[in-house]
Chains A and B, each alone.
Chain A
Amino acid sequence: MDIDDLLAEVAVDSTPQESRDLQELTRAWVAERTAPEILNWPEELMERVLERIRRQIELVEDQTGNMDPKTNFKLIVIQTELERFKFLVRSFLRARLKKIDEHPLHIRAQHTASLDTMQSLLSPSELQYLTSHQALLSQHYSTSFLSQFPASLQRLDDTTGGISMVDKPDEDKAVFVRALRDIGTVFIEGTDRRLEVKRGDVWVVRWSAVRKWAVGSGTGDVELI
């Protein structure tokens, strides 16, 4: 342990929970927008953030109508902050929904697998959206044409014939990452490349190689940028 680590620890403890949540939310948002796969649902963080947004809206509603210039100015600051938070959450949710819509069957399978671990992949409402959307789509296909097909060709998740109908995101897509802590040597699967990742380093690597350290999908030792 050297001086940097000590400083880092002190810095984390002295910043209030609110600022850390903002940082975490921003990190989760950036990660979700750049990672090819959908990441774990940050349940506790989202609960805290939503609760705070709700409180701030109440505060704003309470205070409007107050003509005191000082509170008025404070309100404008709060509202600007509120709009930014709402944007972050909205963009975050929409990025997730986009992925859910793109690879619904794959994500459902992943989610079912993640139920055994502590971290679930989707929030309950996202799962509900996925399931109902998928039901809608398959019903749409089937009333439009699939019902008139031979029975052996009516499935939507067929894997026979060498091609799986279930589409997956490209896990080998290159991502930009910054290491928040030393993580040692990273091996790139299928090649003989290995890299030494130190704190503060920025690398362009395959998503599949750093997934287990990334924010949202692993230990959180590297962040996506």
Chain B
Amino acid sequence: MYGETANKLVQNAKRTLALPHLPPYQSELIRSVIREVRDLDKDVASLLAPYSGSFNPASSPETACALLVNHLCMRRNKRCLLAYHKVRSDKLEEYCWNGVDVLEQQAQKANGNSAGEGGAAGAESSLSPEEEEYVRQYSDLLAAYKGQWTDIDLTGSLEPPKDLFIDVRVLKDAGEIQTEYGSITLTKNSQFYVRHGDVERLIQQGYLQRLS
């Protein structure tokens, strides 16, 4: 039926909203929606062909109705596709803002899978090639915009700061960091009382845990 595949996409997008990760790109569904639109367009063209440009809806209401239905279906499919891609790109942007490197994660996942399956070429990224390109360009754009606000650190925490210094516990070895009060070596399971601004990045990346 018209619009059914597009509906599946929308449902998929709705599910994506609640998921912490990005589900695989539905290229098969998308191709079939595009096919449907092209078929509908051909249908419209063939319906209009006998009238050679001078179609009067009032004189043949049945054709007008078919045209309208076809047209609305095409528009609906377009909207569904846009919505699906928008949800996914929003999610990718969110990852960029949070400093998660999606591309690297995908690469790791692909490697992990292929190692598990004995090097089988079945490992697929859940991003389409277009989306990977989009992530790359968006991170460039974000970096460029952020570069104008170096003093502020735009991707920093959106929680109002309460204390200048905080207690942190080291979850993973992070090596040595330089602060205004000298250098600290962050070894696993040790605990420090440090300036929030100095370690904010490391907390976001999961090296440190904040102790309240």
* Chain A interface residues (CB < 8 Å from chain B): 50, 53-54, 57, 60-61, 64-65, 76, 79-80, 83-84, 86-87, 89-91, 93-94, 101, 125, 128-129, 132-133, 136-137, 140-141, 143-146, 148-150, 153, 156, 161
> In the bound complex, how far is the Cα of B137 from the Cα of A70, in angstroms?
48
A163 to chain B, nearest CB (A): 8
Can you name 27 A-B pairs with beta carbons within 8 Å?
Answer: A53-B151, A53-B152, A61-B180, A80-B161, A80-B164, A83-B161, A84-B161, A86-B151, A87-B157, A87-B160, A89-B149, A89-B152, A90-B158, A93-B152, A101-B90, A129-B141, A129-B145, A132-B141, A140-B130, A140-B134, A144-B85, A144-B130, A145-B81, A149-B34, A149-B74, A150-B37, A150-B74
> In the bound complex, how far is the Cα of B141 from the Cα of A192, in angstroms?
48
**Does B206 touch A at the CB level, under 8 Å?**
no
Question: Contact: A136 with B138, CB < 8 Å?
Answer: yes
Question: Contact: A86 with B152, CB < 8 Å?
Answer: yes
A171 to chain B, nearest CB (A): 22
A141: which of B38, B82, B90 is its contact (CB, 8 Å)?
Answer: B82
**Does B124 touch A at the CB level, under 8 Å?**
no
Question: Contact: A86 with B131, CB < 8 Å?
Answer: no
Question: Contact: B37 with A136, CB < 8 Å?
Answer: no
**Does B196 touch A at the CB level, under 8 Å?**
yes
B131: which of A50, A57, A65, A140 is its contact (CB, 8 Å)?
Answer: A140
Interface of A is mostly: helix
Question: Contact: B161 with A153, CB < 8 Å?
Answer: no
> In the bound complex, how far is the Cα of B181 from the Cα of A50, in angstroms?
25
* Chain B interface residues (CB < 8 Å from chain A): 30, 33-34, 37-38, 41, 71, 74-75, 78, 81-82, 85, 89-90, 93, 128, 130-131, 133-134, 137-138, 141, 145, 148-149, 151-154, 156-158, 160-161, 164, 180-181, 195-197
A135 to chain B, nearest CB (A): 9
> In the bound complex, how far is the Cα of B153 from the Cα of A57, in angstroms?
13
Contact (A141, B85) CB under 8 Å given A64-B180, A150-B37: yes
> In the bound complex, how far is the Cα of B161 from the Cα of A143, in angstroms?
42
Apart from A84-B160, A136-B134, A140-B89, what are 14 other A-B pairs with CB-CB below 8 Å?
Answer: A50-B151, A61-B180, A83-B161, A86-B151, A86-B152, A87-B160, A101-B90, A101-B93, A128-B145, A136-B137, A141-B85, A144-B30, A149-B74, A150-B74
Question: Contact: B154 with A143, CB < 8 Å?
Answer: no
Question: Contact: B164 with A83, CB < 8 Å?
Answer: yes
- Complex contacts, B82 vs chain A, CB 8 Å: 141, 156
Q: Which residue of A lies closest to B197 (CB)?
A: A83
Question: Contact: B75 with A161, CB < 8 Å?
Answer: yes
- Complex contacts, B85 vs chain A, CB 8 Å: 140-141, 144-145
- Complex contacts, A57 vs chain B, CB 8 Å: 151
> In the bound complex, how far is the Cα of B97 from the Cα of A59, in angstroms?
30
Question: Contact: B151 with A94, CB < 8 Å?
Answer: no
Q: Which residue of B lies closest to A93 (CB)?
A: B154
Question: Contact: A54 with B151, CB < 8 Å?
Answer: yes
A167 to chain B, nearest CB (A): 11
B145: which of A50, A54, A125, A136 is its contact (CB, 8 Å)?
Answer: A125
Question: Contact: B34 with A153, CB < 8 Å?
Answer: no
> In the bound complex, how far is the Cα of B195 from the Cα of A216, in angstroms?
34
